[in-house]
Homo-oligomer: A and B are copies of this chain.
Amino acid sequence: MSDKLFFGNKSGDDILKIVSGFHSFPAPGVILGTVMVDYALLMLPAESEKDVIVETTHCLPDAVQLFTPCTYGNGWLKVVDWDRFALTIYDKHTLEGFRVWLDLEKLKNFKDIYNWYMRLVPKKSLPLEVLNPAILEAGAAICSGKKVKVTGLYGKKEKKNIEVCPQCGEPYVSTSGQVCPPCSGSGYFEYK
C-alpha cells in the first residue's frame, strides 16, 4: 500500500475544495479523515456493501459523509463519542471490516501534525496552509490499521412506535415516557 492515497485521481487541491464546500472550511481533521477513509477502503473489497463507525463527533464524520455513501441521516454512518480519531469500515452483511486509527508513535515523526493533534501549540502558529499540505503529504504514514470483526453497533436502527403526545399534540416515540421529552422538561427550547 502506498502512503500517498489521494482518492484515485483526486489531487490535494480537489480534496481541499470538496471539504470546504461541505464543512465550510478545510478543517485539518476532515483532511486527515479523508486519508483514513481512503486507507480503509483500499483494504476492503470494492464491491461489498459498507457501513461505517466513527469514534469521534469532531470532523471525522464529515470525511465519511463526503467520500463514502454513508451519511448520518441514512444511518450507514454511526458515531460513538470517544473523541478518538479512528474509524471502522465494514461489510454490513458479514461484519468483517478494517479499522484505521491515528497512530501517535508514527505521528511523532511529523512534528507539525503531532503538535496540532495533541494541542501543544496555539492554533495561530500552525496555519491551515502549512498543516493541510503536511497531512496530505504524510498520507497513511501517520495511521495504522487492522482487520476487525464488528461485534456491536451494527444493523439498522429500528424505528419505534409513534404516538401522539397528549400534552403538545406532536408525534413522539412512546418508549420515552407518558409525554414527549420537551413536555417532560428535558427540552432545549422555550416558545416565545
- Could you tell me which A residues sit within 8 Å of B by CB distance? 22-24, 27, 29-30, 33, 53, 57-63, 65, 69, 71-76, 79-80, 82-86, 88, 96-97, 99, 101-102, 104-105, 117-119, 146-154, 157, 159-160, 162, 164, 169-173, 176, 180-181, 187-192
Question: How far, in whole Å, are A91 and B183 apart by their CA atoms in the complex?
Answer: 23
Determine whether the beta carbon of A172 is less than 8 Å from that of B71: no
Best-surrounded residue of A29, A117, A148 (most CB of chain B within 10 A): A148
Which residues of the partner chain B approach A102 to less than 8 Å between Cβ atoms? 170-171
A142 to chain B, nearest CB (A): 12
A3 to chain B, nearest CB (A): 20
Question: How far, in whole Å, are A192 and B149 apart by their CA atoms in the complex?
Answer: 7
A167 to chain B, nearest CB (A): 13
Which residues of the partner chain B approach A192 to less than 8 Å between Cβ atoms? 96, 146-149
A154 to chain B, nearest CB (A): 8
Choose from B59, B63, B69, B169 the contact partner of A104 (Cβ within 8 Å).
B169
Question: How far, in whole Å, are A80 and B74 apart by their CA atoms in the complex?
Answer: 16
A113 to chain B, nearest CB (A): 13
Determine whether the beta carbon of A74 is less than 8 Å from that of B164: no
Question: How far, in whole Å, are A105 and B164 apart by their CA atoms in the complex?
Answer: 11
Which residues of the partner chain B approach A86 to less than 8 Å between Cβ atoms? 170
A-B contact pairs, 23 of them (CB 8 A): A23-B71, A23-B74, A53-B188, A57-B72, A58-B73, A59-B73, A60-B73, A65-B65, A65-B72, A65-B73, A72-B79, A80-B181, A83-B159, A84-B171, A84-B173, A97-B189, A99-B191, A117-B162, A119-B162, A148-B191, A151-B189, A152-B189, A153-B188
